[in-house]
Amino acid sequence: MAIKLIIFLLFVIIFIKSSNAANYNVITYGAKPDGRTDSTKPFLKAWASACRSAKASTIYVPKGRYLIKAAEFRGPCRNRVTLQIDGTIVAPTNYWALGNSGYWILFIKIDRLSVIGGTFDGKGAGFWACRKSGKNCPAGASSITFNWANNILISGLTSINSQQTHLVINSCNNVNVRNVKVVAPDQSPNTDGIHVQASTGVTITGVTLKTGDDCISIGPGTRNLFMNNIKCGPGHGVSIGSLGKGFNEDGVQNITLLNAVFTGSDNGVRIKSWARPSNSFVRNVLFQNIIMNNVQNPIIVDQNYCPNNQGCPRQSSGVKISQVTYRNIKGTSKTPEAVTFDCSPTNPCRGIRLHDIKLTYMNRAATSSCKNIGGTTFGVVMPKSCL
């Protein structure tokens, strides 16, 4: 009797849950899983229905390949929306088809959205070839962008061959990115893995990033960014910046990177700023428990960034860098100089802490260089500290 009662209660719970959620299958709206038929409008129709729903809703994308052109999924929505993807979203092969908006898939002004699973194929090779040839090309598109979005979960998603940045988080609050994979060739231009800017409370965990530019790039106005269990390489590392391109620019603060492995990347952990006047800043940063495997610049601060030496009077950065801690960073450098601090002559780096660093080059001690920096060391520090 007790078993029958338990089974009955389970059915009641399942019924209540199903009745409290609305489900929208993109196939029902006319999407074709053949990778050739334009399914943009069916996806947008399914989104409109889910967004209007007073109940929490799920948009379901079954297995298959779905051709989607530039699409804007706009809120606000009436309730929580989940986009569950079991298939692959494919961009047009003709890179001109995405226009000059800078976006492929754009989520904008949404609260309480979950994007679960799926593969996004940006078909970027044609665009990269156009850029390399010097021909007239469109501006290029980021694959997945979140603008002015709050309370977002991005989980189990794979992005391959984006024209430009794979995942952009801009002007958002409370975003959780987990178990995401990004793949693009190491020579693909400007294909950053994840770019965060003007956002607060972003968490990135369990991601694997193999790309042609920064694995994670951190732009102006980023606060309370937590990154854990990160695998990077190939790519240009985890970079704060470039900052200070404009004079009135919001700063970056409270940045944490834990338990990361960099393999064959151009940089490990980098802070980069333009060599020009600015009121921007970087403060309260922790890089901890990091392994470097044959990384070109394992630890680097570069405040002399100035492409073509244009627009950098006095070649001095106004960006103020302070309270940055490097703790338990070990492994191998691809170059003799494993630690580089090239700070601003007018705004020297302050409060830099090196704690238990062991970086070698060709099975011997690497070297370090310091300009315009103040700080302290703790424990064993190799290469020998120049602070």
3-state helix, strand, coil in the chain (%, to 5): 15, 55, 35
Could you tell me which of 93, 32, 107, 40 has the C-alpha nearest to residue 63?
Answer: 32
Q: Which two tokens stand for residue 179?
A: 């178990």
DSSP state of 385: P
Catalytic residue among 166, 192, 236, 342: 236
Reading across the β-sheet that carries 194-197, which strands appear in turn? 71-74, 103-108, 142-147, 167-170, 194-197, 216-218, 238-243, 267-274, 297-305, 337-342, 367-371
Residues 255 and 216 sit within 8 Å (Cβ to Cβ): no
Residues 196 and 230 sit within 8 Å (Cβ to Cβ): no
Could you tell me which of 165, 251, 177, 258 has the C-alpha nearest to residue 214?
Answer: 165
d(CA 90, CA 138): 19
- The residues with which 34 forms a beta bridge, in sequence order, are 65
In the annotation, is 266 catalytic? no
Residues 343 and 303 sit within 8 Å (Cβ to Cβ): yes
Catalytic residue among 166, 192, 195, 213: 213
Return the number of other C-beta atoms located less than 10 Å from residue 139's C-beta.
Answer: 12
d(CA 74, CA 384): 53
Q: Which amino acid is at 96?
A: W
Angle, CA of 230, 176 and 70, to the nearest 5°: 100
d(CA 226, CA 205): 8
C-alpha 277: how far from chain center: 27
CA distances from residue 331 to 232, 239, 261, 316, 340 in whole angstroms, order as listed: 14, 19, 10, 32, 16
In the annotation, is 195 catalytic? no
d(CA 127, CA 123): 8
Give catalytic residues, as residue numbers. Answer: 213, 236
